[in-house]
Structure formats: structure tokens, C-alpha cells
């Protein structure tokens, strides 16, 4: 992100201009290098060492990313940007002055004009990172003209290739050197991000389907390279002139739904990719007196994603010191009287960052997942803003305290006459290849950076957690079962929710299509599925006299439900590979929540505003009771919970 100049932002109401993201401090007169205590370089690995240190593909266990052997793989990453576009959006695209910090990346990752690929790989290793976030623009994928020779001066082997072909070579070089690569859909049109640049939403200037199709194209393209580990679906979704993104509306504004659709499509093409889902970066009108702010990952606590592969979701958020929880980052025109992150005390900042992001680390909730802070950064040499400098150190301490996965912005820049064009870069190269690095004594950021990459962290094998996942049929089927996707529709016309095949149904809500699934003490389930739409299996006595009941056959557990206009329509039951108890108890939730104290996911609300029923962790759902009397409308009133062996 980091748009360097304020862009005019005019709403139809002709409100005053403001910007959504802002003014990065421009490098001023070059300050003399600050005296810093000598420190050793970060602990680094060579390419072969890095490659040997982990086994793809990656997945998640609780709040940790793990490799194929179940060992923690902390994403310690940098953004190698350029392929998302650097043009600032006005003026001749061929004039370097019209590109961010005067560097025209020609729609490929930066630096290939100045040093050979092998030097870039070695320099990335010298920073102590193990993975790369690789932004690209949708437009880049479709460019047919070869990159100009001057874009690849130091890498003649890349001459004559299209930007996508260069991108392929970059991915191949990175993964051969052991780096994990996360593809990041940054922009639609090829230009430097942010503010009102026509790239605010996933469907800006194009259809949601085109966005999904492009992801499937990429998922397939790198399918045979397992070190391409993730798809970061969309960068910094934010308000455009007219509209806000949302997390629940179910329409074209719903980022939650767009993530769900694209994630499903990607999992069908390549189920091994991590799905990186960023929260909402900005909503509202950035003027004093108007509602606005940065929801980030806060909405996830009430509504999280459940995919067929439940162990693939990573949530992400971005933090820059000059922006704030309600501050767009603008300076001067369009600046509001909200706090910037860098203005908070360290303790308050830690709390703010927890609320906006690390809350997702909370164990045993439906939303529990790793959080990757996939952008943060600060201007290095020439920096004169004391708050920005303090922010860097304070924010890094917060990353360390949370043992967080991270990606610094950006890795590669250029220098002109010894001065960095973009002082935020960790590595900057002169035309002759001379390097300035964040690890040099002359870079004040070096001490904190080293603290970050050398920080003590959870390592080694991570236990498989119990999983809790929510279903949401508010806007149609929520089908997380791979098995059911291969079978005919089991309740045509009804809204259906099915748990992932590794899980069973554990709770239902009233009057909204939300449910909870888990694999806690999960018995082995066979492939037998029985659809229940009447009382034929109510065989061990009437457990809810006067109510309509849907009950699974003996030795079957509920794994899905269906509703019509909120009224219960059916239960989907899976035959267990064990004999199950026929004793049980009723869990009524027609007059209030009824969830087990201290049970799984009870510290989070998977159906805010509605009563919920949930069996105890050692039980399964064997039946659901409902009625049309007393204007209950057929919505669920009680669960029949039976003990698991
Ligand atoms: C994207 O969604 C918005 C909001 O509903 C809609 O107005 C717009 O037409 C959509 N864009 C495209 C290209 O379909
Ligand atoms: C990237 O996002 C843009 C904007 O939503 C979309 O047009 C494009 O299809 C996406 N590309 C991929 C590969 O996701
Ligand atoms: C989504 O819209 C609802 C209702 O319009 C609003 O209350 C909520 O704050 C919005 N959520 C976000 C994350 O913008
Ligand atoms: C960056 O590089 C260009 C050359 O492409 C140079 O003309 C310009 O002065 C530099 N800009 C900054 C901000 O350092
Ligand atoms: C969900 O299951 C139904 C069968 O009930 C199937 O028709 C549909 O394609 C599945 N949907 C997804 C997204 O897998
Ligand atoms: C039950 O599980 C056992 C052991 O995994 C397996 O051998 C057997 O085939 C299963 N039976 C059914 C009906 O799936
Ligand atoms: C989550 O739902 C609760 C209960 O309705 C509500 O108080 C809270 O504001 C919601 N949180 C967010 C971030 O929307």
C-alpha cells in the first residue's frame, strides 16, 4: 500500500476531499547515520538449508502454520513487490517520475534490472526470512507484450518474456531456494495501491467471477510446485467512492461471501494452498463527524470461514504507524482528528492490535486461526519522524509478544546517487548493483529487525487441535462436505449446511442459518448418509412430546441440516463405525442460549443475536425438535444430545 500522495476523494455529496491511505514520510535530507550498538547479523540459512528445514505443503493447527510433518512453520516474510504495478495513476506511464518513488517496475518484481536473480536470493536469505509475499495485479496476468530489456538488464535470461513469464521465473527461483511463496492478489489494474485507485474491491472494474477464475488459473498454474504455499485472496479491501465493503450482507459488498466463494473454487483446483483472508481495511467516509474506521479482523469473531479443508485458513491484517483504527493515514487535506497507531502508548497499542487482529489466535473458537500481519513497515534511512521510529520498535515488540507470522513491506527498492528512492525497502540497489541493506550499521531499523527475526518462538511439532467450525446458510447452501458435493441435492430448494467430512454437527441456532461443527471425540464415520425429513426414526420414546422431531437412525450422528424460511426441513445423518448409545438428554434453547459452560467455542458467538443450543463436548446431535405452535415458526427449539463412546 503506502500511497505517497493524497488522492482526491470526492463523494457524490461533494464532501471535502480526503484520502483513504496516505502520505508516507518522504525521505528528507539524509541524516547522518545514527550511532548504534554493534550487533551481529541475523541468523540466516542458505537456500539448501532453508529448503531442508521444512516440508511442503503448509496447513494450520490452531493458531500456528505447520509444515507437512506437523512442525511449526512461522511465516517470517517480506513483500517482494512490483508485479502489482507501480504507476501512480496519472501522467505518462512510460515516465519513471509517474511511478511510486520514481521506480518503474514494468509489472515485475523489483530489482531484476539491477542485480542478478541469484544475488536477490542470497540477499533475501541474509535478512533471515523464510517466505515471500508476492503481489501481482490481475492485469499483469493478461499482458502479452514482453517486458522491456531495461527492466531485466541484470538478468538477460529474462529478456523477451512477458510479465507473467517473468513472474513464473521468479516463483521458480524463490522456491528452488527454499522460500515459501504466497501469491497476493494486490490490484486489478496495474498501479501502485491504494486510496481511490479503482482497486478498492475484489469486483472493482470486473466481475467477482473473473476474480475467481483468475485465482483458479493461478492455483492450477503452480499446482506442481508445492513451495507455492498460499493464495492471499485480495489486498486491503476498502470503500470506493460510493460503497462500503461489508462482512455479512450477502450481496456484492460482502467480502466474507466473496472469500468463501473464491476459497471454495481454489480448494477444488488445489486443496493444498493456504487461503489467506484479509479483513476489511477501511469503511466509511474519512471526515470528522462521519462514521468510518478499520474493522480489520474484528468481524471474524462473529462470522468465520469453514472450508472443506478446515486446516487451510490464515487471516491477515495490515498495520502502518501513520494510519489508525479510525485514521485513514491522510495528512492535511482529509485528515481527521482520530488517533494514528503510532500515537498510542505501547500498552494501548498492544490492546488495539489484539482487538483488530490477534483476537483470532484465541484457542478453541470457531474462528481460531493463524494471523499473518502481511504488511507493516517504516521509512529507514533519512527518517526524521520520532513517532515513526518508536512505532517500528514498539510494533515489532508486539509481533514478538504474539509470536506472530509477519511480512514486512517492501523488500526491494533502488538508490539514486546513494539515496534510497523508497527508504521503506529493506534492500536497495544502485544502478551498478551496489546494495544498501537494513542489516547495515547505517540503517536505524536494523536492531529491531534483528530482534524480530531472531525472536524466541514456538517451534517443533504442534499438537492437532480439536476443531470448531461454523456454518452459515443465510445466503444459500453452506456445503463444507466434500462427500456431499459428489452426491445429488439432498433437500432441493432448502438452505442446507453440511459440516466438513471430518466433523459432525454440534449446535444449532434459532431463526438464523447458523450452526456449529466439531471433531471433538469424533467417532469414525462411514460414507453412509441418510436424509431425515419426518419422524420415522423416533424409535426410543417421544423425547419432545407435542413437538415435531427430526431424528437420525440408530448409530447415526447429525452432520448437516436444512431449513426453509428458517423452519427446520431436514437432518443429514452419517452412520458411525461404532455402536452409539441410545440414552440422551434434551437441550432446550427456545428461551435463551443453552451452551455447555466451558465447552468448545462457547467463548465466541457463532449466531449473534439469536438463541443457540449446543451439545456437551462428549455428545453428538441425534435429533432436533421444533414446532409451529405459539408462533415458533418451525425454527429449532431443542437438540437431542447423546453421549459418544
Ligand atoms: C461490484 O459490486 C458492486 C456493489 O454491488 C456493484 O455495484 C458493481 O456493479 C459490481 N461490479 C461489477 C464489475 O460487477
Ligand atoms: C485479483 O483481483 C482482481 C480484483 O478483484 C481481480 O480482477 C483478479 O481477477 C484477481 N486475480 C486473481 C488471480 O485473483
Ligand atoms: C455491515 O453493514 C451493517 C448494516 O448495514 C453494519 O451495521 C455493519 O457495521 C457493517 N459491517 C462492516 C464490517 O462494515
Ligand atoms: C528515484 O529514481 C529516479 C530515477 O528513476 C530519480 O529520477 C528520482 O529522483 C528518484 N526519486 C526519489 C524520490 O528518490
Ligand atoms: C453441495 O452439495 C450439493 C448436494 O446437496 C451439491 O449439489 C452442491 O454442488 C454442493 N455445493 C458445493 C459448493 O460443493
Ligand atoms: C470400520 O472401521 C474399520 C477400521 O477402520 C474398517 O476396517 C471397516 O471397514 C469400517 N467399517 C465400515 C462399515 O466402514
Ligand atoms: C458480534 O456480535 C455481538 C453480539 O450481537 C455484538 O455485540 C458485537 O458487536 C459483534 N461484533 C462485531 C465485531 O461485529
Task: Give the tens place of pLDDT for each residue, 317-355.
Answer: 999 999 999 998 888 877 889 999 999 999 999 999 999
CA 284 – ligand 1 centroid, Å: 17
CA 498 – ligand 5 centroid, Å: 9
* Percent of the chain with pLDDT strictly greater than 70: 89
CA 297 – ligand 3 centroid, Å: 13
CA 527 – ligand 6 centroid, Å: 10
C-alpha cell at 601: 467455542
Residue 310: pLDDT over 60: yes
Residue 15: pLDDT over 70: no
Quote the CA–CA distance of 156 and 153 in Å, as a whole number: 6
The count of residues in the chain is 645
Count CA atoms within 13 Å of residue 587 on its CB side: 27
Tell me the average pLDDT across 24-45.
46
H helix count then E strand count, the chain: 10, 30
The per-residue pLDDT for range 97-128, each reduced to its tens digit, is 887 878 888 889 999 999 999 999 999 999 99
Burial environment of residue 610 by CB neighbours within 10 A (0 to 12, 13 to 18, 19 or more)? middle
Identify the residues whose C-beta falls under 6 Å from ligand 2: 138, 185, 188, 202-203, 206, 210-211, 214-215, 218, 234
**What pLDDT, on the 0 to 100 scale, is given for residue 348?**
98
Among 243-252, 366-375, 465-474, the least confident range? 243-252
Residue 575: pLDDT over 60: yes
Pairing of β 514-518 and β 504-509: antiparallel
Tell me the average pLDDT across 63-76.
98
Dihedral (CA of 234, 240, 243, 246) sign: positive
Tell me the average pLDDT across 242-270.
86
Beta carbon of 477 within 6 Å of any ligand 5 atom: yes
Nearest to 183 by CA among 137, 147, 148: 137
CA 511 – ligand 7 centroid, Å: 17
**What pLDDT, on the 0 to 100 scale, is given for residue 203?**
59
CA 543 – ligand 7 centroid, Å: 34
Tell me the average pLDDT across 217-223.
88
C-alpha cell at 412: 526491494
Which residue's CA is the closest to the ligand 6 atom numbered 6?
A: 577
Contact 635, 590 (CB under 8 A): no
Contact 408, 320 (CB under 8 A): no
Q: Report which bound ligand comes closest to the CA of 608.
A: 7
Beta carbon of 609 within 6 Å of any ligand 7 atom: yes
**What pLDDT, on the 0 to 100 scale, is given for residue 227?**
97
Quote the CA–CA distance of 67 and 274 in Å, as a whole number: 11
CA 356 – ligand 7 centroid, Å: 13
Quick one: which atom of ligand 7 is closest to the CA of 609?
Answer: 5
The per-residue pLDDT for range 593-626, each reduced to its tens digit, is 999 998 999 999 999 999 999 999 999 999 999 9
Among 477-481, 510-514, 524-528, 565-569, the least confident range? 510-514
The residue ranking higher by pLDDT, 590 or 43, is 590
Quote the CA–CA distance of 530 and 124 in Å, as a whole number: 54
Burial environment of residue 542 by CB neighbours within 10 A (0 to 12, 13 to 18, 19 or more)? exposed
Which residue's CA is the closest to the ligand 7 atom numbered 14?
A: 299
Residue indicated by cell numbers 449473534: 608
Beta carbon of 577 within 6 Å of any ligand 6 atom: yes
Residue 370: pLDDT over 70: yes
Quick one: which atom of ligand 3 is closest to the CA of 253?
Answer: 1
Residue 211: pLDDT over 50: yes
Dihedral (CA of 261, 265, 271, 274) sign: negative
pLDDT band for position 29 (cuts 50, 70, 90)? very low
**What pLDDT, on the 0 to 100 scale, is given for residue 205?**
58
pLDDT band for position 556 (cuts 50, 70, 90)? very high
Q: Rounded mean pLDDT of the chain? A: 88
Ligand 3 site-directed mutation target among 237, 240, 248, 256, most atoms within 8 Å of CB: 248
pLDDT band for position 495 (cuts 50, 70, 90)? very high
Tell me the average pLDDT across 428-445.
97
Beta carbon of 458 within 6 Å of any ligand 6 atom: no
Beta carbon of 526 within 6 Å of any ligand 6 atom: yes
**What pLDDT, on the 0 to 100 scale, is given for residue 224?**
94
Q: Report which bound ligand comes closest to the CA of 240.
A: 1
Beta carbon of 265 within 6 Å of any ligand 5 atom: no
Residue 564: pLDDT over 50: yes
**What pLDDT, on the 0 to 100 scale, is given for residue 605?**
93
Residue 37: pLDDT over 60: no
Q: What is the CA radius of gyration of the chain?
A: 26
**What pLDDT, on the 0 to 100 scale, is given for residue 191?**
45
CA 484 – ligand 5 centroid, Å: 6
Measure CA 620 to chain center.
31
Three-state DSSP at 301 gives: helix
Tell me the average pLDDT across 45-54.
96
Three-state DSSP at 516 gives: strand
Contact 24, 382 (CB under 8 A): no
CA 155 – ligand 6 centroid, Å: 57
The residue ranking higher by pLDDT, 408 or 285, is 408
The residue ranking higher by pLDDT, 92 or 505, is 505
**What pLDDT, on the 0 to 100 scale, is given for residue 297?**
97
The residue ranking higher by pLDDT, 25 or 48, is 48
Write phi, then psi, for 394 (nearest 5 degrees).
Answer: -65, -45
pLDDT band for position 36 (cuts 50, 70, 90)? very low
Amino acid at each position: 500500500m503506502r500511497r505517497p500522495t493524497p488522492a482526491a476523494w470526492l463523494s457524490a455529496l461533494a464532501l471535502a476531499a480526503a484520502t483513504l491511505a496516505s502520505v508516507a514520510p518522504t525521505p528528507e535530507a539524509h541524516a547522518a547515520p545514527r550511532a548504534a550498538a554493534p550487533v551481529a547479523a541475523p541468523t540466516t540459512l542458505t537456500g539448501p538449508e532453508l529448503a531442508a528445514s521444512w516440508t511442503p505443503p503448509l496447513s494450520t493447527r490452531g493458531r500456528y502454520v505447520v509444515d507437512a510433518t506437523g512442525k511449526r512453520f512461522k511465516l517470517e516474510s517480506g513483500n517482494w513487490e512490483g508485479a502489482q504495478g507501480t504507476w501512480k495513476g496519472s501522467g505518462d506511464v512510460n515516465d519513471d517520475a509517474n511511478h511510486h518513488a520514481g521506480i518503474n517496475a514494468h509489472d515485475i518484481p523489483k530489482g531484476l534490472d539491477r542485480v542478478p536473480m541469484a544475488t536477490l536470493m542470497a540477499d533475501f536469505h541474509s535478512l533471515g526470512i523464510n517466505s515471500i509475499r508476492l503481489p501481482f495485479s490481475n492485469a499483469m496476468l493478461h499482458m502479452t507484450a514482453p517486458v522491456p530489456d531495461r527492466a531485466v538488464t541484470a538478468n538477460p535470461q529474462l529478456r523477451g518474456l512477458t510479465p507473467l513469464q517473468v513472474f513464473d521465473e521468479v516463483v521458480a527461483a524463490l522456491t528452488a531456494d527454499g522460500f515459501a511463496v504466497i501469491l497476493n492478489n494486490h490490484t486489478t489494474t496495474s498501479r501502485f495501491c491504494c486510496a481511490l485507485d479503482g482497486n478498492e474491491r475484489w469486483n472493482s472494474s470486473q466481475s467477482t467471477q473473473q476474480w475467481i477464475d483468475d485465482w483458479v488459473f493461478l492455483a492450477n498454474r503452480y499446482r506442481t510446485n508445492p513451495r507455492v504455499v498460499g493464495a492471499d485472496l485480495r489486498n486491503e479491501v476498502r470503500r470506493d467512492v460510493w460503497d462500503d465493503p461489508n462482512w455479512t450482507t450477502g450481496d456484492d459488498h460482502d467480502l466474507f461471501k466473496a472469500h468463501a466463494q473464491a476459497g471454495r473454487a481454489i480448494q477444488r483446483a488445489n486443496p493444498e494452498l493456504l487461503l489467506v483472508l484479509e479483513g476489511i481495511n477501511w469503511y466509511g467516509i474519512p471526515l470528522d463527524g462521519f462514521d468510518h474506521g478499520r474493522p480489520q479482523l474484528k468481524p471474524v469473531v462473529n462470522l468465520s470461514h469453514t472450508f472443506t479443508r478446515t486446516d487451510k485458513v490464515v487471516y491477515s491484517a495490515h498495520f502502518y504507524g501513520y494510519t489508525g483504527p479510525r485514521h485513514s493515514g491522510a495528512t492535511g487535506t482529509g485528515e481527521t482528528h482520530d488517533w494514528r497507531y503510532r500515537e498510542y502508548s505501547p500498552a494501548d497499542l498492544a490492546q488495539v492490535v489484539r482487538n483488530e487482529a490477534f483476537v483470532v489466535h484465541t484457542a478453541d473458537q470457531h474462528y481460531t486461526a493463524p494471523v499473518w500481519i502481511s504488511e507493516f513497515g517504516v521509512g529507514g534511512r533519512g527518517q526524521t519522524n520520532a513517532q515513526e521510529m518508536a512505532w517500528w520498535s514498539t510494533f515489532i515488540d508486539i509481533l514478538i509478544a504474539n509470536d506472530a507470522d509477519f511480512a514486512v513491506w517492501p523488500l526491494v527498492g533502488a538508490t539514486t546517487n546513494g539515496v534510497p528512492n523508497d527508504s521503506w525497502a529493506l534492500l536497495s540497489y544502485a544502478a551498478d548493483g551496489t546494495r544498501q541493506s537494513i542489516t547495515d550499521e547505517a540503517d536505524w531499523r536494523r536492531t529491531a529487525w534483528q530482534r524480530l527475526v531472531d525472536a524466541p518462538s514456538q517451534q517443533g511439532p504442534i499438537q492437532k487441535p480439536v476443531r470448531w467450525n461454523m456454518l452459515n446458510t443465510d445466503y444459500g447452501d453452506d456445503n463444507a462436505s466434500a462427500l456431499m458435493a459428489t452426491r445429488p441435492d439432498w433437500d432441493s430448494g432448502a438452505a442446507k449446511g453440511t459440516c466438513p467430512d471430518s466433523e459432525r454437527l454440534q449446535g444449532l441456532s434459532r431463526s438464523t442459518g447458523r450452526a456449529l461443527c466439531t471433531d471433538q471425540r469424533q467417532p469414525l464415520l462411514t460414507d453412509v448418509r441418510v436424509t431425515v425429513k419426518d419422524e420415522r426414526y423416533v424409535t426410543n420414546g417421544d423425547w419432545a412430546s407435542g413437538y415435531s422431531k427430526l431424528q437420525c437412525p440408530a448409530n447415526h450422528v447429525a452432520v448437516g441440516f436444512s431449513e426453509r424460511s428458517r423452519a427446520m426441513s431436514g437432518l443429514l445423518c452419517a452412520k458411525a463405525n461404532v455402536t452409539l448409545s441410545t440414552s440422551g438428554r434434551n437441550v432446550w434453547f427456545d428461551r435463551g442460549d443453552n451452551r455447555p459452560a466451558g465447552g468448545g467455542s462457547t467463548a465466541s458467538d457463532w449466531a449473534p443475536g439469536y438463541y443457540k443450543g449446543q451439545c456437551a463436548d462428549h455428545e453428538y446431535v441425534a435429533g432436533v425438535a421444533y414446532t409451529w405452535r405459539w408462533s415458533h415458526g418451525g425454527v429449532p427449539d431443542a437438540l437431542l444430545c447423546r453421549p459418544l463412546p
